[in-house]
Amino acid sequence: MAHRTRIKICGLTREADVEDAVAAGADAIGLVLYAKSPRHVDAARAGVLARRLPPFVSPVLLFVNATQAEIDAGLQMVPNALLQFHGDETPEQCVAAGRPYLRAARMAPGVDLLDLASRHPGAVGLLLDAHVEGYGGGGKAFDWSLIPANVPCPVVLSGGLNPASVIDGVLRVRPWAVDVSSGVESAKGVKDAALMRRFCEAVREADSRQT
């Protein structure tokens, strides 16, 4: 039976976008608690948006070099969240929150994913994004050939995906999940319902082609 690639839509800021993402078929939504991001929401706003989610659609809180107090504030508002660490956090800092977490890797030649995975045995997966100025959300793809075949934990493919490119990404990388943000937007932080639907349909089409 073909693997069902999970879908995370990240950087949501509006209630309507949360509802449209769920209707499109998203398995998870990402809420960015990083003040320098154009998709930033604070902890209270993240809580409001997360409460729009039905059962079995997961909220993910994205942090970049956050303090423990900032992480605790996010978890107080969204206690069932999966955490995503996108900065320079140490394994100890990632584990300290006491919640399941994804470790983001900014992919570039020389990045050793196997070493990163070995240093984060507590991570539920590695999210692979392009290496851009700042942290994530750059809408840039990276060279998928940099991904080794034997990564010992689930891989979440990110970085520049959109409805046109995600089929190739799923078929070539065969990730556990895909993550999209700018590729389904009409403006930064404003999602497009039709693009989200087309993205999810493209992932399902890619799954149907896998043997």
Q: Which of 10, 17, 20, 200 is catalytic?
A: 10
> DSSP letters of 150-201?
T-SS-EEE-SS--TTTHHHHHHHH--SEEEESGGGEEETTEE-HHHHHHHHH
- Return the residue matching tokens 């902890």: 43
The rounded distance, in Å, linking the Cα atoms of 156 and 159 is: 10
129 is catalytic: yes
Q: Which of 17, 20, 27, 129 is catalytic?
A: 129
The rounded distance, in Å, linking the Cα atoms of 137 and 206 is: 23
- Return the residue matching tokens 């590695």: 126
192 is catalytic: no
> Looking at beta carbons, which pairs linking 182-187 to residues 24 or more positions away fall under 8 Å?
182/11, 182/137, 182/138, 182/139, 183/139, 184/9, 185/11
Residue 187: is it exposed, middle or buried by C-beta count within 10 angstroms (0-12/13-18/19+)? exposed
Q: Which two tokens stand for residue 117?
A: 């995975």
DSSP element (H, E) containing 8: strand 6-10
Positions annotated as catalytic residues are: 10, 129
